[in-house]
Homo-oligomer: A and B are copies of this chain.
Amino acid sequence: MIRDIYRESYWIGFFGDLILLPPSTRRSLPMALLRAREVIMAHFRPMLARHDITEQQWRVLRVLAETGPLEATELANRASILPPSLTRIIKAMEEREFITRNKVKDDGRRALLSISPAGVALIEELSPERTAIYDAIERRYGAAEHERLLDMLESLIQSESTEE
């Protein structure tokens, strides 16, 4: 019953008026997405920390491994990392020799970023543990629910990112 009140975004004001309120923090999409991400990432962080890489560096590596060499802008989009962050991340990962960069000829601004053999090796080393973590999440949450949640998130992203 209380839950339904939150659901409908109604509330009773001090003088008994029925007033319309925005979602409480208990039923707000931004908060729910944030918390959900937190509980999921909590499972991955120990693995990443053991190998001294950040979550964002890990995303960059995986995107490059999956799609092949990319320019910075495209990489930033695919890894959901903003350009200023990517600049710093690339710098750090070049020094650790997980990725390499090659200037694109005919355009002095662009550079192609590639994963190095060491980067591939790191991904392969972490893959089993990564799979195990995902499996454990699916066992707890339910595989069907998991797939459905991914579908709904994709749909949300789609509906909100088509600009008009």
Contact = CB atoms under 8 A, between A and B. Distances in A.
A160 B29 CA distance: 18
A149 B148 CA distance: 10
| Copies of the protein in its oligomer | 2
A163 to B, nearest CB: 10
Interface size class of A (residues with CB under 8 A): 35 or more
Most-contacted residue by chain B among A32, A41, A137, A157 (CB, 10 A)? A32
A36 B34 CA distance: 10
A75 B134 CA distance: 31
Given A30-B41, A33-B37, 16 more contacts: A25-B78, A30-B37, A30-B55, A32-B149, A33-B36, A37-B37, A38-B80, A39-B157, A40-B156, A42-B160, A140-B160, A141-B156, A141-B159, A145-B152, A148-B152, A152-B152
